[in-house]
């Protein structure tokens, strides 16, 4: 039997260090006895993951059924108008956004986001191609906006891959919102071939910027942070 | 218990306390109880499996699977056999209702130890101790020893009695006043979390006689003494950690069978929260002991318990609550649990008390271990149980740092109580 020189507790014969303070056990008598079975097995059994993939496949099949019915009805009964395209496109975007991530065997968030970006663009394209009286806006407005939104989400995903403080999280979200706001303004202005900044962009941009600067200062200044946590303690 | 038979399937409702546990279940956490018995000889898995199978008919509340109704969960007789497995390093892993042959308890063996992990919806610490004691007795009988029934070992030849299956909460919730629950945020010793599904389990074995005499010196019980040590440890840790001090609250479940003539083997325990505010000044150990023991003695009485039952039962009997579909109930319980529950308690100290077995079993049984499931926020949650002259105090910790355990056991050592430590850490 060994005792921890630091804690004073008796330890199991198999213990190579104290479980409470990690002080190594140096007892020549115990070591001479050879391998002693530890009080707990080393085998770790992790539980199986949820059956999300299976459920996602079932839901996909359920989603497929009304689409098949719509396409058949459209082709057989109302041949003068291709309305089932909208139903299929809407189902497809729902599938890509909400079910596809669960069907992937190896989950990769950036690939999933890229697929979502392409799917969203394709969904908009369906309406652009079949329904839009004006041409050209898809490539100059919809696609750049789509890319900007998904790039912002990807940047936030990268930032939140590690655990962040509430303050840092707020700064990141506000920075992403401000950048997105500027890009949206640029893209819209390029499309409209004008230099005027809209009120919405200005109000949103300035509000985000002020809050962003305030949180950055609060993050850097310990005294301000302490004052705020004292004042807004709940 | 209201058992009903439809299409030859016996089913029954969950008891009042159990209704909350399935809703708290998450992908990584379930409210579990782990209770183990250390025998004096190595466990034979095949004999143990036979013992489990012959015990189960006597415990119809454990021989079940959980099913979803439209408004509530319910238990249904499980027609399969429960498996037994070699023990694992990560205890109290979350339970999923379609695994383990749909049983809500797991039986493990490792060297001389038989361990039982139960979903709290099935029973409380007392019920699990009775099942484990009966299982151990049957295991020893199958090995050829003469073990009679009595004390916590039930007679397997007699049918289950209705008193063992009743929902005692409903029976004794006669108070018209509903007790209020404190819901203030409290201090938590946090740190780096262990990876998912892993936790550190640290058991300290100590002699009951020395511990009892130490508690007696201060005029308190063992539960009050150990809960006060846990309180003191958290007070000291917070003092070093925080400028703004928060209340420290230790949750202490009490076995209501001691106050009411109930023989139920289902849940029949409620939790008291002993709270101390360090902002009022620095408490000495003597002062903490006094506060803890006076609070428990003042509040732990029949009248107060009945008002707590009435408060819990009031929610269940509320007609609006009853008509809400189960999916929404689960969602509500999940949100409420995430926002309150452990956030309003610093830690938990549960003392099962003495496990009493027939004299004939004593040469074969060394000690018992009780462990609550690791918390979602709380660091060291503590379970204690005594058998013979050995008391086992076990910490379930979800963080990598073991400060609470270290300070707790060091304090006992300084008080002259010898402690032997076993842990699943770094084996």
CATH number for the domain that contains residue B221: 3.30.559.10
What is the rounded distance in angstroms from the CA atom of residue A74 to the CA atom of residue A63?
Answer: 17
Residue A33 scores a pLDDT above 60: no
**B423/A8 touch (CB, cutoff 8 Å), yes or no:** no
Q: What is the pLDDT of residues A128-140, one digit of tens each?
A: 988 888 888 899 9
What pLDDT score was predicted for residue A55?
86
- CB environment B207-227: b (16+ within 10 A), e (fewer): beebbbebbeeeebbbbbbbb
Which comes out higher in pLDDT, residue A52 or A60?
A60
Q: Identify the sign of the CA torsion B137, B138, B142, B148.
A: positive
**Domain-located, residue B184:** no
Number of domains in chain A: 1
**Domain-located, residue A217:** no
**B89/A42 touch (CB, cutoff 8 Å), yes or no:** yes
Residue B132 scores a pLDDT above 90: yes
Q: How many CA atoms lie within 13 A of A85 on its CB side?
A: 14
Q: What is the pLDDT of residues B385-403, one digit of tens each?
A: 999 999 999 999 999 999 9
- Asked if the C-beta of B193 comes within 8 angstroms of chain A's C-beta atoms, the answer is no
Distance from CA of B277 to the nearest CA of A (A): 16
Residue B332 scores a pLDDT above 80: yes
Residues B217 and B148 in one domain: no
**Domain-located, residue B180:** no
**Domain-located, residue A36:** yes
Domain carrying residue B11? 3-172
Give contacts of B110 with chain A, Cβ < 8 Å.
40-41
Residues B163 and B82 in one domain: yes
CA distances from B378 to B92, B118, B201, B396 (A): 15, 20, 14, 9
What is the rounded distance in angstroms from the CA atom of residue A124 to the CA atom of residue B288?
Answer: 67
Name the residue among A173, A197, A169, A17 with its Cα closest to residue B423. A17
What pLDDT score was predicted for residue B1?
52
CA angle B110, B112, B114 (to 5 degrees): 60
**Domain-located, residue B181:** no
**Domain-located, residue A33:** yes
What part of B 44-63 touches A (C-beta under 8 Å)? none
Residue B127 scores a pLDDT above 70: yes
Q: What is the pTM of this model?
A: 0.78
What is the rounded distance in angstroms from the CA atom of residue B381 to the CA atom of residue B346?
Answer: 9
User: Average pLDDT, stretch B246-273?
Assistant: 93
Number of domains in chain B: 2
Distance from CA of B293 to the nearest CA of A (A): 27
**Domain-located, residue B295:** yes
Residues B252 and B153 in one domain: no
Residues B264 and B166 in one domain: no
**Domain-located, residue A27:** yes
- Asked if the C-beta of B177 comes within 8 angstroms of chain A's C-beta atoms, the answer is no
CA distances from B368 to A139, A173, B347, B384, B386 (A): 72, 52, 22, 9, 7
What pLDDT score was predicted for residue B372?
94
- Asked if the C-beta of B409 comes within 8 angstroms of chain A's C-beta atoms, the answer is yes
**Domain-located, residue B207:** yes
Which comes out higher in pLDDT, residue A148 or B184?
A148
**Domain-located, residue A41:** yes
Residue B358 scores a pLDDT above 60: yes
What pLDDT score was predicted for residue A165?
85
> Which residue in chain A is spatially nearest to B244 when comparing CA positions?
A230
Residues B114 and B215 in one domain: no
- Asked if the C-beta of B99 comes within 8 angstroms of chain A's C-beta atoms, the answer is yes
Q: Which residues of chain A have a Cβ shorter than 8 Å from any chain B Cβ?
A: 4, 7-12, 14-21, 37-48, 50, 230, 233
Q: What is the pLDDT of residues A169-191, one digit of tens each?
A: 999 999 999 999 999 999 988 88
Are B85 and B186 in contact, with CB atoms under 8 Å apart? Answer: no
Give contacts of A46 with chain B, Cβ < 8 Å.
90, 93, 196-197
What pLDDT score was predicted for residue B142?
96
Domain carrying residue A8? 1-45
Residues B206 and B151 in one domain: no
Residues B233 and B167 in one domain: no
Residues B108 and B214 in one domain: no
**Domain-located, residue A26:** yes
What pLDDT score was predicted for residue B2?
52
CA angle A21, A22, A27 (to 5 degrees): 110
Residue B296's pLDDT band, with cuts at 50, 70 and 90, is: very high
Cα B284 to chain centroid, rounded: 29
Residues B209 and B164 in one domain: no
Distance from CA of B210 to the nearest CA of A (A): 15
Residues B166 and B269 in one domain: no
**Domain-located, residue B179:** no
Give contacts of B111 with chain A, Cβ < 8 Å.
37
Of B202, B420, B424, the CB nearest to A10: B420
What is the rounded distance in angstroms from the CA atom of residue B132 to the CA atom of residue B55?
Answer: 10
Q: Provide ipTM, 2 decimals.
A: 0.86
DSSP element (H, E) containing A219: helix A199-220
**Domain-located, residue B189:** no
Residues B19 and B143 in one domain: yes
What is the rounded distance in angstroms from the CA atom of residue A83 to the CA atom of residue A86?
Answer: 6
Give contacts of B96 with chain A, Cβ < 8 Å.
47
Residues B238 and B161 in one domain: no
Name the residue among B421, B408, B416, B423 with its Cα closest to residue B237. B408
Q: What is the pLDDT of residues A63-111, one digit of tens each?
A: 999 999 999 998 888 777 888 999 999 999 999 999 988 888 787 889 9
**Domain-located, residue B121:** yes
């Amino acid at each position: 039997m060994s005792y921890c020189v630091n804690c004073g507790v008796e330890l199991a014969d198999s213990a190579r260090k104290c479980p409470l303070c990690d002080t190594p056990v140096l007892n020549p008598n115990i070591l001479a006895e050879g391998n002693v079975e530890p009080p707990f097995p080393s085998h770790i059994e992790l539980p199986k993951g949820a059956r999300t993939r299976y459920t996602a496949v079932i839901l996909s099949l359920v989603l497929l059924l009304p689409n098949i019915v719509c396409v058949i009805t459209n082709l057989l009964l109302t041949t003068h108008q291709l309305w089932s395209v909208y139903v299929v496109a809407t189902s497809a975007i729902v599938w890509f956004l909400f079910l596809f991530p669960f069907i992937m065997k190896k989950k990769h968030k950036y690939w999933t986001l890229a697929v979502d970006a392409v799917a969203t663009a394709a969904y908009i394209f369906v309406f652009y191609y079949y329904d839009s009286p004006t041409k050209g806006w898809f490539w100059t407005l919809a696609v750049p906006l789509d890319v900007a939104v998904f790039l912002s989400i990807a940047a936030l995903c990268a930032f939140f891959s590690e655990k962040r403080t509430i303050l840092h999280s707020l700064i990141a979200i506000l920075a992403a919102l401000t950048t997105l706001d500027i890009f949206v303004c640029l893209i819209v202005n390029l499309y409209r071939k004008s230099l005027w900044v809209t009120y919405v962009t200005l109000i949103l941009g300035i509000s985000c910027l002020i809050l962003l600067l305030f949180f950055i200062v609060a993050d850097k200044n310990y005294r301000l942070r302490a004052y705020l946590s004292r004042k807004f303690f709940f | 218990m209201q058992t009903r038979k439809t299409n030859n399937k016996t089913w029954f409702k969950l008891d009042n306390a159990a209704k909350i546990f399935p809703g708290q279940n998450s992908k990584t956490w379930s409210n579990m109880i782990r209770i183990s018995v250390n025998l004096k000889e190595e466990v034979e898995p095949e004999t143990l499996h036979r013992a489990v199978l012959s015990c189960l008919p006597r415990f119809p509340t454990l021989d079940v699977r959980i099913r979803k109704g439209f408004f509530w969960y319910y238990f249904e007789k499980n027609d399969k056999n429960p498996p037994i497995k070699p023990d694992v390093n990560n205890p109290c892993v979350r339970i999923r209702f379609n695994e383990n042959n749909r049983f809500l308890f797991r039986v493990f063996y490792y060297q001389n130890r038989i361990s039982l992990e139960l979903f709290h919806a099935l029973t409380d610490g007392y019920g699990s101790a009775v099942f484990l004691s009966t299982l151990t007795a049957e295991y020893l009988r199958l090995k050829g020893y003469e073990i009679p029934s009595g004390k916590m070992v039930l007679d397997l030849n007699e049918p289950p009695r209705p008193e063992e299956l009743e929902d005692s909460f409903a029976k004794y919730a006669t108070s018209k006043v509903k007790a209020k629950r404190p819901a203030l945020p409290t201090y938590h010793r946090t740190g780096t979390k262990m990876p998912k599904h892993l936790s550190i389990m640290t058991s300290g074995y100590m002699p009951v006689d020395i511990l009892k005499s130490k508690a007696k010196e201060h005029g308190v019980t063992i539960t009050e003494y150990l809960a006060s040590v846990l309180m003191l440890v958290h007070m000291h840790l917070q003092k070093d950690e925080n400028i703004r001090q928060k209340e420290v609250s230790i949750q202490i479940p009490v076995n209501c069978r001691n106050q009411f003539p109930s023989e139920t083997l289902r849940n029949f325990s409620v939790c008291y929260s002993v709270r101390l505010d360090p902002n009022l000044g620095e408490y000495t150990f003597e002062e903490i002991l006094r506060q803890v023991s006076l609070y428990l003695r003042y509040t732990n009485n029949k009248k107060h318990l009945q008002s707590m039952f009435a408060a819990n039962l009031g929610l269940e009997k509320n007609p609006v609550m009853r008509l809400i579909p189960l999916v929404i109930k689960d969602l509500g319980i999940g949100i409420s649990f995430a926002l309150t529950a452990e956030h309003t308690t610093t830690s938990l100290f549960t003392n099962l008390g003495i496990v009493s077995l027939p004299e004939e079993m004593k040469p074969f049984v060394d000690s018992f271990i009780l462990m609550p499931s690791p918390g979602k926020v709380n660091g060291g949650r503590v379970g204690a149980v005594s058998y013979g002259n050995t008391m086992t105090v076990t910490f379930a910790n979800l963080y990598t740092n073991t400060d609470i355990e270290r300070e707790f056991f060091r304090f006992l050592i300084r008080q002259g109580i010898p402690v032997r430590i076993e842990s699943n850490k770094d084996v």
